[in-house]
Structure 1
Amino acid sequence: MRTRNKPVLIFFCLLLSAAAVLAGVNIYSELKEQQKEKEDFAAVSQIAEPTATAALTESEPTEQPAAERNIQALIAENSDCIGWLSIDGTNISYPVMHTPSEPQKYLRRNFYGKYSQSGVPFLDGRCDLQSTNLIIYGHNMKNGTMFSNLKKYVERDFLNAHRTVKFETADGIRYFTVTKVLRTDITDAWYNRIAAEDCRQLILSTCYGSGKDGRLLIIAAET
């Protein structure tokens, strides 16, 4: 009886071992990809560092504060880039892309257009920088990158401590103050509000909850 069962047990053990090895390979590949994406964004951040020329430009009077980052250098590197989004005290500090003819081009591509699980935050294809409502999309990544930190806005203490959102473009810096946090889904009317009635608003959108249609919207008014 024991002899007859022994091959079955051996096969079962081999199967478990193979599954464990495969899981290990997948985890290693995922971690390696995450590390590469972080290195890629670090390289993009280097491109955006202010230069001596940019510093001189910042001293000139303008209607809005000059950009702290070298947005022109980013645009020269990739003309799909329109600016840089950041929120102090969070991990959110990324370039923003805009491709109206292919709205979701950077959903799964990095700054250079190569495949990326995280993608790059991008402006809604129906919007432009003159729109009174600016809708920017970004993934809610489990590793804490992209728009993952936005989910913390459901906590009042975090909201009160991180109300200012900064959006830098070639024209300068625009500051927005978070006024509303919505746990909703893809059918929310906010996704069709391309024009605001009273002031320019920035809407940050990311996945939220266990359902594929769940969304979190962070709505901020320009100050």
Structure 2
Amino acid sequence: MRKFFLNLMTIICVMIICISGFKIYTTLRGYKKADNIYSQLRETKDNSHSSTDTTKNLSSINSDYKFWINVEGTNIDYPVVQGKDNDFYLNHDFNKNYLPAGSIFLDYRNDFKADLNTVIYGHHMRNSTMFGQMEKFKKEDFFEKNKKITLATEDNLYEYEIFAIGVYDADFGYNTVNFANEDNFNNFLNKILSKAMYSRNIVSSDDKIITLSTCSYEYDNARTAIFAVKK
């Protein structure tokens, strides 16, 4: 009987090792696939002669393409898409194929050029891709030295200066995009600043901002958000 249990435990251990190994393999394969896809898209952008050409070339691949985002001091250098909801691009790549890493995407509610708060989402990948390097801004020295975010559209290059970073509950409202009036927006700014980890006093209710959002691991349903004001 003892030998039977020893053999059974051995089989169980081998099965656990095999399952764990397969999960690691599929995760690494997913990372590699995502890296290849976005490397090709960066090459397409770099080979384009202008922002207009970039938009034309990338839109021919995916009509959901909106603009290109770059965050100073990080590897955040991606095309941004906008779907009909905030679910599809959580696990679909730029080519609209299933991929756990998903895409960097604009909140489906946003009108980028009109809204006071433009919200952009991305996964916090364990290999520090997508929005994984937002984590760097949780170090005060890095926050102080790296301030610039750019959004390159078909006809313009928009520059933003980071004014806050914080960890928020998913239902905190940091990703609100519509505001009834200026006072409402001002209250929103005060609310996010009151819970910010670090901040700069450079934003007012007269400004337009962008919010970068990703998962965080301090507690259940935590989100790291970076806020930047349009220059």
Match of 1:188 among 172, 177, 187: 172
Distance 1:120 1:46 in 2: 17
Distance 1:126 1:33 in 2: 29
SS in structure 1 of the partner of residue 126 of structure 2: coil
TM-score of the two chains, using structure 1 as the length reference: 0.86
Alignment of 1:7-156 (within 5 A): 7-52=4-49, 54=50, 67=51, 70-99=54-83, 101-130=84-113, 131-156=115-140
Shift of 1:209: 2.1
Shift of 1:217: 1.1
SS in structure 2 of the partner of residue 129 of structure 1: coil
Distance 2:157 2:140 in 1: 26
The aligned residue for residue 213 of structure 1 is 221
What is the identity, as a one-letter code, of the residue corresponding to 1:13?
T
Identity of aligned residues (%): 26
Measured at CA, do residues 163 and 68 of structure 1 come closer, stay the same or move farther in structure 2, by a change above 3 Å? farther
Shift of 1:41: 0.9
Structure 1 stretches of 4+ moved >3 Å: 193-197
Give CA deviations for 1:107-141 in whole Å, capped at 9, x if unaligned.
11000111111111111111122122211111111
The number of equivalent residue pairs is 206
Gap runs ≥5 in structure 2? 180-184, 186-204
Give CA deviations for 1:146-173 in whole Å, capped at 9, x if unaligned.
1111122111111112110111111221
Q: Is the 8 Å Cα contact of residues 118 and 211 (structure 2) preserved in structure 1?
A: yes
Distance 1:134 1:193 in 2: 7
Give CA deviations for 1:23-52 in whole Å, capped at 9, x if unaligned.
112211211121111111111112222434
Distance 1:40 1:215 in 2: 26
Distance 2:35 2:141 in 1: 28
Shift of 1:202: 0.8
Q: Is the 8 Å Cα contact of residues 209 and 227 (structure 2) preserved in structure 1?
A: yes
Gap runs ≥5 in structure 1? 55-66
What is the identity, as a one-letter code, of the residue corresponding to 2:88?
K
In our comparison, the structure showing a higher alpha carbon Rg is 1
Q: Is the 8 Å Cα contact of residues 68 and 168 (structure 1) preserved in structure 2?
A: no
Shift of 1:210: 4.1
Give CA deviations for 1:42-67 in whole Å, capped at 9, x if unaligned.
11112222434x2xxxxxxxxxxxx4
